[in-house]
């Protein structure tokens, strides 16, 4: 009858459990009094972290990972697998896009660096082609120039490319004429290791005379004479 007191001693264990489950506040009080539940709640609500596989995880996340590991068919585990399958294509696309952006950024930075080398070469009065910029890059690597030293590296590169030019003019400059072809041919036709000193001396006397004139007797000067 309604309002009658229930004699709990007459109820079975299952009836007591059913009765407690029908009263949420009673059921919570019973479960909260369990030491295992109290330990779980303390860990779950703590602010500490624990390093797992190189990552710092909060205690509650560690508990979740443990639950997924020992119960792969739990609701949390199934939810994770479902979410992963749903967003997998998006994750792959995002990773690809991120890589493409990084590649484009690196390419733009590299091209900007090459343009810096080209601009510096133009400032020095040169008109570098792409292959010239390649050579400047190789020169920088070989000589351990960094990007901050690019201006100096370009200058040094072109200094190594310049051909030595005489910085004086002789009063007795001359050029070899067609008559020297006889001397050259005689040298080329001479057997290997043969003595060509007489040919060389005759040629030197002629050149010397052309440069400084004949001696007092009208003879060719001997270039070896003092």
- Regarding predicted confidence, which is higher, 142 or 218? 142
Mean pLDDT of the region 51-70: 83
According to the model, what pLDDT value does residue 137 have? 92
Coil, strand or helix at 58? strand
pLDDT digits (tens, 9 = 90+) for 8-46: 778 888 888 888 888 888 888 888 888 888 888 888 788
Distance CA 151, CA 147 (A): 9
Q: pLDDT band at 164, cuts 50/70/90?
A: very low
Specify whether the CB–CB gap between 78 and 85 falls below 8 A. Answer: no
**Residue from 107, 132, 106 nearest 118 by CA:** 132
**Residue from 207, 202, 200 nearest 175 by CA:** 207
Per-residue CA distances from 56 to 8, 40, 132 (Å)? 50, 19, 51
Domain ranges of the chain: 13-70, 90-161, 176-226
Kind and range of the H or E element at 41?
helix 35-45
According to the model, what pLDDT value does residue 132 have? 92
140 CB-contact burial (10 Å; exposed 0-12 / middle 13-18 / buried 19+)? buried
* Packing angle of the helix pair 24-32, 35-45 (nearest 10 deg): 90
């Amino acid at each position: 009858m309604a309002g009658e007191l229930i004699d709990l001693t007459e109820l079975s264990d299952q009836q007591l459990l059913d009765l407690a489950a029908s009263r949420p506040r009673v059921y919570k009080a019973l479960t909260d009094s369990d030491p295992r539940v109290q330990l779980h709640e303390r860990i779950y609500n703590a602010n500490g972290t624990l390093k797992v596989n190189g990552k710092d995880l909060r205690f509650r996340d560690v508990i979740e990972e443990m639950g997924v590991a020992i119960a792969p068919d739990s609701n949390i585990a199934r939810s994770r697998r479902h979410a992963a399958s749903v967003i997998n294509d998006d994750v792959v696309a995002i990773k690809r896009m991120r890589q493409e952006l990084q590649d484009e950024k690196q390419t733009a930075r590299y091209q900007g660096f090459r343009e810096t080398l080209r601009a510096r070469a133009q400032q020095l009065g040169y008109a570098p082609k792409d292959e010239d910029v390649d050579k400047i890059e190789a020169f920088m690597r070989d000589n351990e120039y960094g990007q901050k030293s690019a201006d100096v590296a370009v200058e040094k590169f072109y200094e190594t490319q310049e051909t030595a030019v005489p910085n004086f003019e002789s009063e007795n400059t001359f050029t070899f004429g067609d008559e020297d072809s006889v001397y050259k041919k005689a040298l080329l036709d001479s057997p290997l290791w043969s003595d060509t000193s007489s040919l060389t001396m005759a040629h030197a006397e002629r050149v010397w005379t052309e440069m400084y004139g004949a001696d007092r007797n009208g003879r060719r000067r001997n270039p070896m004479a003092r």
